[in-house]
Structure 1
């Protein structure tokens, strides 16, 4: 009886899946913006801490989502703000990110220590960098600019460059109180330092940042985390074995992080920001990484060009973090094409097909909740904030154009970022989803002072009091 019942259930569910997915015409900007608006509203249905305290739950998703994923979510909302021109969530996004700055304005908070590793802080730092490059409104005075916040994060990461074993590299976690992975040096932490350094070099023109970016790349490649032939990016290596053993799992966000850093280095090679960098070298690296990304598309012969998480998705073993990974790959592939248009022919079919498949998966719970496996031609029943974020990012990726060049320091934001142009009157009505349960892991590190010329801004108690007042004021005003 079981096979028959299961088959019948699948048939019934399939009928529902096709009845209410997000409508998307990948050739129509209006349709793309409307689909993105629905996905964005769905993502924020998981966010309920709008009235939390500064440095506490304000700006954070609830369990089972770790602290880093909240930073990634607000990065996705910055992408939505930039590429759609919709300012509906502008104040909410500003308030949320600002609330997590911490006393030193570097996203280090005492109540998040157990969830704060180098990779976690890097994701919040990348979000701050994105805000600076998009011309997003800065935090209220006397707080620093987004660019300074990103620099503060970079300084923290660089200060923890660990030469005790393996002649360098960042360990996974920061604090000794985190008992798991204390000997693990992973690609996402070192990739975060690499990408942030490249982007700060471009934004500021300061060669210290590009020198650190090259240092991070060279170390990652030297220990075998970037394959010299295939440009596959592997997950991490064991410092207790002097980094002679490598975890060969491939995750889409690892290669995505390195792709956008490489695209930025390619963009600034031979300029004042990176005078010693070779354009040809970074072009080869970027194109190698992009070609290596093919492992994350086309899971089956009848699902050509659909993105998937190769290490877990077919088997159904992805965890809460991993559900969001391919969204970051879509984000950084599309944004890299602005600096390197030659990759567009390769990535366009992936993004267009995946966006269509992702929209088709958004049929769950009667309110366009997005599923995990885009290749099933419908909703697979596994939904969450990470899945919603991935769908939003791949849909937004279709709006990235050659004119969307990130700003540099002192540049003015484009008018496309400052006006609402999305009709939200036909959005699906959403219900709030509050997940439960959580766990965490981490590792300690040895600090080494970096040779950086950037300063770190530290807020005193009175400034933080002003921050609380500013956030309370913004929250009371609502979004506009």
Structure 2
């Protein structure tokens, strides 16, 4: 009977594509059209290929658009140019995440073997524990140990093997006591030769990577304390690591080729945290912050017609694959 009420020639209304999805599609298209290669992208640093791959996996998950599946598969298997332990762990995480999509056993085997090598050769009792950043064992820093935390949780979620869960809890216990997290809940870059907080800038990716590992720990253990710690860092970063207009920025301009990916790492993990949070004032605050940043970056790209500047307030002229992938991560997170 209801069908009889449709007027002849009437066209059913179509739901409009959400703004975040249209923006993400435009950003992904620019990324691949401008910087794409057969096995990844012309990134300024090799390690950036792996978080960029994770961003595109997130695009596929959130939108159902499979256009980039071939590029994802090729990029995650391109393991050239890894030199440091953090390089290896970026690749481990991306490999596990890609395994969750196509279940190629090589991906999981490679990730497990390299994870085992890293913790066996580069975790020791100096500073009471922790993973060294480099094979020469000259620096214990935040990002390497945050990557270890996330690699541990992702391998546990993929395999169910308790050793990975134990390593995740061990890594977090050491990290929380290391002194790298300040009273303001922000993470400093690393430790000095006396195993003290070295006072280096609190870069955005150091905040973001921690959100990912802690969010996973609550999912694995059911203990809300980990996600609550992540929320404290997320709110501290979005309230203080910003321009006067509230746009995410780095505390130092001396970031070189690495820097344009940092903000993308932060918003990628912030988006996953927001997805997991219950409705409430903190979630509303973070969603509003993401929307404000997304609007500003979309305007900066002239409605998607231009590549995105590495500085979200504009003017740096630092465009490239990493800056574009960071914008894509932001647009996706704005849909959380």
Deviations 1:94-115 (A, max 9, x none): 1222243xxxxxxxx5xx3xx4
Q: How many Å apart are 1:351 and its aligned residue?
A: 1.0
Q: Higher relative contact order by CA 8 Å / sep ≥ 6: 1 or 2?
A: 1
Could you say what secondary structure the match of 2:140 adopts? strand
Describe the shift of the 1:349–1:266 C-alpha distance in structure 2 as closer, same or farther (beyond 3 A): same
Q: For the Cα contact (< 8 Å) 2:180–2:197, is it kept in 1?
A: no
User: Which of 128, 137, 141 is residue 186 of structure 1 equivalent to?
Assistant: 141
- The answer for the alignment partner of 2:252 in structure 1 is 311
Is it true that 1:359 corresponds to 2:301 in the alignment? no
Could you say what secondary structure the match of 2:40 adopts? coil
Unaligned runs of 5+ in 1: 1-27, 51-57, 101-108, 177-181, 271-278, 401-480
User: Which of 253, 265, 268 is residue 331 of structure 1 equivalent to?
Assistant: 268
Describe the shift of the 1:90–1:329 C-alpha distance in structure 2 as closer, same or farther (beyond 3 A): same
CA distance in 2, matches of 1:360, 1:81: 24
Q: For the Cα contact (< 8 Å) 1:296–1:308, is it kept in 2?
A: no
User: Which of 330, 350, 358 is residue 289 of structure 2 equivalent to?
Assistant: 350
- The answer for the alignment partner of 2:209 in structure 1 is 257
Please give the root-mean-square deviation of Cα atoms over the aligned residues, in Å.
2.6
Is it true that 1:370 corresponds to 2:331 in the alignment? no
Q: For the Cα contact (< 8 Å) 2:50–2:91, is it kept in 1?
A: yes
Describe the shift of the 1:295–1:399 C-alpha distance in structure 2 as closer, same or farther (beyond 3 A): closer
- The answer for the alignment partner of 1:292 in structure 2 is 236
Is it true that 1:232 corresponds to 2:169 in the alignment? no
- The answer for the alignment partner of 1:201 in structure 2 is 156
Alignment of 1:70-149 (within 5 A): 70-100=49-79, 112=81, 115-133=82-100, 136-139=101-104, 144-149=105-110
Q: For the Cα contact (< 8 Å) 2:97–2:154, is it kept in 1?
A: no
CA distance in 2, matches of 1:232, 1:48: 34
- The answer for the alignment partner of 1:397 in structure 2 is 333
Deviations 1:376-420 (A, max 9, x none): 5xx6533111211111100011334xxxxxxxxxxxxxxxxxxxx
Q: For the Cα contact (< 8 Å) 2:96–2:158, is it kept in 1?
A: no
- The answer for the alignment partner of 1:166 in structure 2 is 127
Between Structure 1 and Structure 2, which shows a larger proportion of helix residues? Answer: 2
Is it true that 1:47 corresponds to 2:8 in the alignment? no
Q: Which stretch shows the higher mean deviation, 156-165 or 380-389?
A: 156-165
- The answer for the alignment partner of 2:19 in structure 1 is 31
Describe the shift of the 1:160–1:254 C-alpha distance in structure 2 as closer, same or farther (beyond 3 A): farther
Could you say what secondary structure the match of 1:375 adopts? coil
Is it true that 1:269 corresponds to 2:225 in the alignment? no
Q: How many Å apart are 1:269 and its aligned residue?
A: 1.6
Alignment of 1:1-16 (within 5 A): none
Could you say what secondary structure the match of 1:399 adopts? coil
CA distance in 1, matches of 2:271, 2:138: 34
Deviations 1:135-193 (A, max 9, x none): x2244xxxx2544443334323322343252122111123x4xxxxx521111100000
Unaligned runs of 5+ in 2: 1-15
Deviations 1:39-58 (A, max 9, x none): 112222453542xxxxxxx4
Q: For the Cα contact (< 8 Å) 1:187–1:234, is it kept in 2?
A: yes
Question: Which protein is bigger by CA-based radius of gyration?
Answer: 1
Q: How many Å apart are 1:290 and its aligned residue?
A: 2.1
- The answer for the alignment partner of 2:116 in structure 1 is 155
Deviations 1:209-242 (A, max 9, x none): 1211121112222221122x3221110113xx24
Q: For the Cα contact (< 8 Å) 1:323–1:387, is it kept in 2?
A: yes
Q: For the Cα contact (< 8 Å) 1:260–1:335, is it kept in 2?
A: yes
CA distance in 2, matches of 1:262, 1:152: 24
Describe the shift of the 1:30–1:244 C-alpha distance in structure 2 as closer, same or farther (beyond 3 A): closer
- The answer for the alignment partner of 2:3 in structure 1 is none
Deviations 1:314-348 (A, max 9, x none): xxx44221111111111101112233335522310
Q: For the Cα contact (< 8 Å) 2:73–2:98, is it kept in 1?
A: no
Q: For the Cα contact (< 8 Å) 1:369–1:383, is it kept in 2?
A: yes
CA distance in 2, matches of 1:361, 1:334: 21
Q: For the Cα contact (< 8 Å) 2:188–2:197, is it kept in 1?
A: no
Could you say what secondary structure the match of 1:197 adopts? helix
Give the aligned length.
Answer: 320
